[in-house]
Structure 1
Amino acid sequence: MGDQDESSSSSFSMGKSAQERGLSYVPECYVIPTSHRARLTPQVAPVPIIDFGKFKRGSDQERAVVIQEIRTACRQLGFFNIINHGIHKSVLDGALSMASEFFELPGSEKAKFMCNDVHKPVRYGTSFKDGVDEFQFWRVFLKHYAHPLDKWINSWPNNPPNYRETMGEYCREVMKLSLEITSAITESLGIGPTYLTKKMENGMQVVTVNGYPPCPKPEMALGLPPHSDYTCFTIVLQSFPGLEILHAEDGKWNLVPQLESALQVLIGDHFEVLSNGLYKSVVHRATLNTERTRTSIASLHSLGIDEKMGTAKELVSEEQPQRYRESSFRDFLNFLSANAIAEGKSFINSLKLV
């Protein structure tokens, strides 16, 4: 989550967004059709919980069980929670705290990073656009590239004063975890644990820090529209529930429950391509509430910006012909610049051959 923008063709207002003004009503440009609205009391998703400690430190038998659990989760939902992932709770809490502190800064401070160019490696935005004729979402965000960390960290905000140090520690730990998750997923596909190791070590980590302010009528708007992520996968940390996933079989939206210190893993478009459709990228959205700002940190992991992801040849046969064309992170950015994601344009659909 977090790779979808509503900013590709419009300029941002340099003032406060509608959300930040504390409006007592929902402006018409935020109101979504009744058929697309979230329920105030959504059904909670039966999300698989993967004990990642058993993958890293367990017996061969325990490790094999975890691999099978990941395989099942990726085939059925494209989504799972992981616990015992090795990142200390203080690191998770520190990252969420920095996210909240950044969004609480004066508008003039955040505006230093305001930009509507999706190719920029560091940028801040709100969904508020000049004019009222374009559809908007109830969200503010900060995006920055994060790997290799020493290349990008000095371009991040230095206010709050500890942002770079605290968020940098989180990004470093999540990057290490992402390589372990990659190994587990490729092993679960039967193509081996080192299939993508080198490419992911040299790949992209894009971190999207999201803020979803209180909304007076949360059922009438969304923080993010339904979408799948262009990445191999996304690792999400959220302050409290608000992430919903679409169950492919029954077409119903389910709320992802909160688990203490857990992280969420969302399969992205490029792993759907790699798996030749065996694993599906999960469609998800961000919902709102009336009480407080929800923050989430989405760490999106992919190959290098111009490295093409194609289907593993081991997963192609006469019975299972190749179903997708290859693409890169830059291809996605170009797609995002030219298409209205909020209107239902899908990057993964543009890759399908059959």
Structure 2
Amino acid sequence: MENEKGENSSTFKMGNSAQERSLPYVPDCYVVPPSCESRDALKSNSEIVPTIDISRLRSGNDERRRVIQELSLACQQFGFFQIVNYGINQRILDDALVVTKAFFELPAKEKKKFMSNDVYAPVRYSTSIKDGFDKIQFWRIFLKHYAHPLQRWIHLWPQNPPEYREKMGKFSEEVRKLSLEIMGAITESLGLGRDYLSTQMDENGMQVMAVNCYPPCPEPATALGLPPHSDYSCITILLQNLAGLEIFDSTAHGGSGRWVLVPEVKGVLKVHIGDHVEVLSNGLYKSVVHKVTLNKDTTRISLASLHSLGKDEKMSVPNQLVNDENPVRYRESSFNDFLDFLVKNDISQGDRFIDTLRIKD
């Protein structure tokens, strides 16, 4: 099908996509189906989306127990919460956003040095999800790179802008430390103890930085930055410069659910529960289904730090959470298993990795 500009709208590829070219219209292949549309999203506020003061985890035992209970409730209801007082200097967050914006403003030939459609690549620049393969494309540009252990991967990261490695490296290190503290609280909330996974994730765990740019979209109601999906990770810690993240509250409206727009408040980080914590909890905690909406006038930047076990290490349901009344409900899987799934499936059509792990009754 040709659009009014005489271009075939099904042939946009990375390096030449509609969002990279700042087209003044939305081509047909970017138009999302009604099930993905965001028009009815609830305008959220801090009372709706849980916010947890992480500094309370470092308080006395009684206070720690109270905040862990708050965290547990958020993981059960939303699979999502916001955090404050987490101990990272605001300058580190601001610097990471600045170098991200500077990277995406580089000339195309500089960014194309990292261009790849290989989901197994440790560093890759791309657009949409899988360019040229998925039926629907998304108004997104991204750079993904491995980040732990930092000394193993940082030499593969962009050298331009000149401060990218330094500023993004510092952000990655600080967020990884925070992820270990949060994972300790999550495993403690499940009765597994705070050290159940922390050493394993500290020594051999994976950290993947998804550095995202969502350029202005001329018709934001017809397209999306990302479709409804959940993250494969244990947890994802997200920093953004503008609102645009929506989470699905499956408990609302008698179980039919609703979309909730997550507000943007400077200094607040977002935490997504991923598929592997849903497995770890044997279904008590849910990986949050979320999507990304677009802005007509302003570029949205987000930095998603995804934390999991090692690439080939399997996440499985602990024996402590299994009994006759609560049998194992999930198959074990690894980060590599997710990458294999991503190659073979189309998440723009609603395919979810977690659905392949659930054991049917």
Counterpart in the other structure of 1:73: 74
With 21-30 and 31-40 compared, the bigger mean Cα shift is at 31-40
Counterpart amino acid of residue 200 in structure 2: K
CA contact (8 A) 1:12 1:116 kept: no
2:339 is aligned with 1:333: yes
Query: Structure 1 residues 89, 131: closer, same or farther in 2, change over 3 A?
Result: closer
CA contact (8 A) 1:82 1:265 kept: yes
Counterpart in the other structure of 1:151: 152
Counterpart in the other structure of 2:4: none
Counterpart in the other structure of 1:246: 248
Counterpart in the other structure of 1:5: none
CA contact (8 A) 1:11 1:116 kept: no
CA contact (8 A) 1:49 1:83 kept: yes
Query: Structure 1 residues 213, 316: closer, same or farther in 2, change over 3 A?
Result: same
CA contact (8 A) 1:228 1:281 kept: yes
Q: How does 1:308-319 map to 2 (within 5 A)?
A: 308-319=314-325
Q: 1:300 aligns with which of 292, 295, 306?
A: 306
Offset of residue 25 of structure 1 = 1.3
CA contact (8 A) 2:243 2:264 kept: yes
Counterpart amino acid of residue 346 in structure 2: A
| Post-superposition CA distance 1:153-190 (Å, at most 9, x none) | 01000000000000000000001111101101000111
With 35-44 and 299-308 compared, the bigger mean Cα shift is at 35-44
CA contact (8 A) 2:11 2:132 kept: no
CA contact (8 A) 1:51 1:84 kept: yes
Rounded Cα–Cα distance in structure 2 between residues aligned with 1:132 and 1:219? 23
Rounded Cα–Cα distance in structure 2 between residues aligned with 1:331 and 1:210? 23
Counterpart in the other structure of 1:28: 28
Counterpart in the other structure of 1:55: 57
Rounded Cα–Cα distance in structure 2 between residues aligned with 1:76 and 1:36? 21
Rounded Cα–Cα distance in structure 1 between residues aligned with 2:133 and 2:335? 31
2:99 is aligned with 1:98: yes
| Post-superposition CA distance 1:126-153 (Å, at most 9, x none) | 2398779931000000000000000000
Counterpart in the other structure of 1:6: none
Counterpart amino acid of residue 342 in structure 2: L
Question: What fraction of aligned residue pairs are identical, expressed as a percent?
Answer: 60
2:265 is aligned with 1:259: yes
With 197-206 and 112-121 compared, the bigger mean Cα shift is at 197-206
If asked which structure has higher relative contact order (CA below 8 Å, sep 6+), I would say 1
Consecutive unaligned residues in structure 2, runs of 5 or more = 1-9
CA contact (8 A) 2:117 2:130 kept: no
Q: Secondary structure at the match of 1:219?
A: coil
CA contact (8 A) 2:36 2:227 kept: no
Counterpart in the other structure of 2:291: 285
| Post-superposition CA distance 1:244-280 (Å, at most 9, x none) | 0001123211101112211100000000001000000
Counterpart amino acid of residue 173 in structure 1: E
Offset of residue 22 of structure 1 = 2.1
Query: Structure 1 residues 70, 104: closer, same or farther in 2, change over 3 A?
Result: same
CA contact (8 A) 1:12 1:129 kept: no
TM-score (norm 2): 0.92
TM-score (norm 1): 0.94
2:189 is aligned with 1:188: yes
Rounded Cα–Cα distance in structure 2 between residues aligned with 1:199 and 1:307? 10
Rounded Cα–Cα distance in structure 2 between residues aligned with 1:332 and 1:130? 18
Offset of residue 34 of structure 1 = 3.0
CA contact (8 A) 1:210 1:297 kept: yes
**Over the residues paired in the alignment, what is the CA RMSD in angstroms?**
1.8
Counterpart in the other structure of 1:136: 137
Rounded Cα–Cα distance in structure 2 between residues aligned with 1:343 and 1:14? 20
Q: Secondary structure at the match of 2:20?
A: helix
Consecutive unaligned residues in structure 1, runs of 5 or more = 1-9
Counterpart amino acid of residue 236 in structure 1: L
Q: After TM superposition, what 4+ stretches of structure 1 lie above 3 angstroms from structure 2?
A: 10-16, 128-134
Counterpart in the other structure of 2:37: 37
Q: Secondary structure at the match of 1:187?
A: helix
Q: Secondary structure at the match of 2:63?
A: helix
Offset of residue 65 of structure 1 = 1.1
| Post-superposition CA distance 1:86-112 (Å, at most 9, x none) | 111000000011111110001000000
Counterpart in the other structure of 1:107: 108
Rounded Cα–Cα distance in structure 2 between residues aligned with 1:66 and 1:345? 34
CA contact (8 A) 2:315 2:333 kept: yes
| Post-superposition CA distance 1:19-47 (Å, at most 9, x none) | 12222211111011234211287421611
Rounded Cα–Cα distance in structure 2 between residues aligned with 1:207 and 1:128? 15
Offset of residue 16 of structure 1 = 3.4
Counterpart in the other structure of 2:279: 273
